[in-house]
Structure 1
Amino acid sequence: MIMGVKMWVGGCLVAAVAAAGAAWFTTAPETGTTHAVCGPDLGRDDVVAARSRAVAVVEAVENTRYREDGGSAYLTTRVKTLEAFKGEFGDVLEVTQGVKNGGSPGRYATEDPDRYAVLEPGRRYVIAVQSGSTTGAAGTEAWAWYAEPAERGLVGEREHWQEAIATPPETAASSACEDIDAPAG
């Protein structure tokens, strides 16, 4: 009889612990995730200038190609160079940038439109090129990792970017990683 009581009490304790654990699991708030973001701070023009192979003001002429590949989407735009500030630029060249999946002509978007604007035909932008060819030779294209509307006018952009190019960043313009906490959702 004592053995039966011990088994019954032990079984109840196990059941109570299991119930409490299940209740906590179903009512506990989601904590989100932490992931690393690597790359330079493209919110600082001195870093953009220091880490880019080429910087120029361009006018977008035509979106020539949209493609999705491996979960990513890319938009290629023919641009006309208005003024190069760093590096060599051909008169006209193809520039590719990453965009959100599911785009259609005139309806492309990026994750950070303030520092990575979608190049729209007829508008002027400051672009910074990380890789690829800026010569404009047939069959070549450049990878723009930074694009923002040229809102200062050509003279204002020239002055601003010449200063950014001439002034190295105070902190290292490295591609170090930092942890970002993403909310649950």
Structure 2
Amino acid sequence: MTGLAVADTSRWEFDVGALPELRIGYHDGLVVGLLPKPLHPDSDDQEMLLCDVVDVDPDVMAGAGVGVAQLSTVGLVLLHRRVTPLEQSRVAWAVGSRVRRQRLLTGADPRVVMTGARPPADVVPAGVSFSSSRVWLRDGDAVSGVEVWEVMFPFRDLMTESSPP
């Protein structure tokens, strides 16, 4: 995809205790965050000005997430299905925050849509694909691999190519 900075997440590690708190509940929805800028270039933390959960039917969740990400005030969108373990969604949010920060630092399009569990193909709109990220999760002395996905959408290429230099 043109203009898209792809992060190498294979060496990223997150501590279970440092994962962001998400209060999603047992339902399907989008977690929408406004993350206007990174606090420090070498920090994983970003100022969260808004975090809201919007109920969305799983059959339209991927398309709705991509649509919400187009809003200028939205920095990060997380697709969460009730069957997804909360820890998976928390890891996806942490990865999305870090990916967004890296894109901001490089001048790339910072809009990020993440999911802790890849949706079934029959509910994914045409042109939308997924890029997996494998990261490491530390819980005390135990370290395990966790896979989360970024939702890749076609509008990003069109907007990047039509933007003035």
Aligning the two structures, in what range does the TM-score lie when normalised by the shorter sequence? Answer: under 0.3
Structure having the larger proportion of residues in strand: 1
